[in-house]
Amino acid sequence: MTNTIEIQAIFGIASTVIMSYLYFFIQDKIKSSYKPGNDHRGKMIFLWRKVSGLLILGLIPAATALLFFQVTPVQAGLTSVGSIKIWIWVVLASMFFITLNIFNSKSAALRESYPELRLTKWGVGSIALAASGWLLYLAGYEYLFRGLLLFSCYHYLGYWPAIVINLALYSALHLPKGMKEAVAAIPFGLLLCYLTLESQSILPAILIHLVQAVSCEIFCIIRNPEMHFSFKINKS
């Protein structure tokens, strides 16, 4: 049994490093094919980037863990949450990050990176596309980080060693976006790790991460002078 738990932890760490590197390598290739000015192609590239994140970070590691190490999705935290306390945490954390993004979106540097989908005119469809893309990507992302990695290390090494390993890898993989994001990833990741282990579910992490990402994009759109919302209803 010990060997099995140890191997699962090693797999969790190795798969996180390897699949994250593979994902970012593929993203660079995809991004290099984008040319500004073609909104349709931009939307397709954005969607493909997010779907590839679900596939590379989520589905492939999940299938490998199940086939070779008998780690089921339930064991990796894909379960419901029944605790009212956890849902209160989710609501309060979501409100906090929405408020934080109102102020963070004032940064011109942040608006250069977000929204990732660079459209001039935003409507209901494009907002839904952006939100859906983030949901797909973050489902895979959190399954890998707060699912396979965190739970496998927790069962083998214990509570704090598992969190430290998780935060170290999580922060390191934000370094390409700059030191500020890498540092900010530590308290954010700590919150998600805590809620995941308390609830034994990755759903709180997915929801909070989704709210943080989508609200960041929306406020960056609002503050970007080159972007605007258009919710015109066609009259017959």
Of 53, 11, 56, which Cα lies nearest the Cα of 148?
Answer: 11
**pLDDT for position 179:** 85
CB 151 within 8 A of CB 76: yes
The pLDDT assigned to 236 comes to 42
Burial class, 141, CB count within 10 angstroms (exposed 0-12 / middle 13-18 / buried 19+): buried
pLDDT by residue for the chain (236 residues), tens digit each? 446 999 999 999 999 999 999 998 898 887 776 666 678 888 999 999 999 999 999 999 999 999 999 999 999 999 999 899 999 999 999 999 999 999 999 999 999 989 999 999 999 999 999 999 999 999 999 999 999 999 999 999 999 999 999 999 999 988 877 788 889 999 999 999 999 999 999 999 999 999 999 999 999 999 999 999 987 655 44
Q: What is the pLDDT of residue 1?
A: 47
Report CA-CA distances (Å) from 188 to 53, 81, 95, 110, 193.
20, 20, 14, 17, 9
Distances (CA, A) of 12 to 19, 80, 108, 175, 185: 11, 22, 37, 21, 19
CA atoms within 13 Å, Cβ hemisphere of 157: 18
Alpha-helical runs (H) found in 58-149? 60-69, 84-104, 108-113, 124-142
What pLDDT is recorded for position 231? 75
The domain ranges of the chain are 2-229
Give how far Cα 206 sits from Cα of 79, 90, 140, 213, Å. 12, 10, 9, 10
Phi then psi for 173, rounded to 5 degrees? -75, -5
80, two tokens:
């419901």
For position 28, what pLDDT does the model report? 82
Q: Which residue has the tokens 């907002």?
A: 127
3-state helix, strand, coil in the chain (%, to 5): 75, 0, 20
- What pLDDT, on a 0 to 100 scale, did the predictor assign at position 58? 97
User: What pTM was computed for the model?
Assistant: 0.93
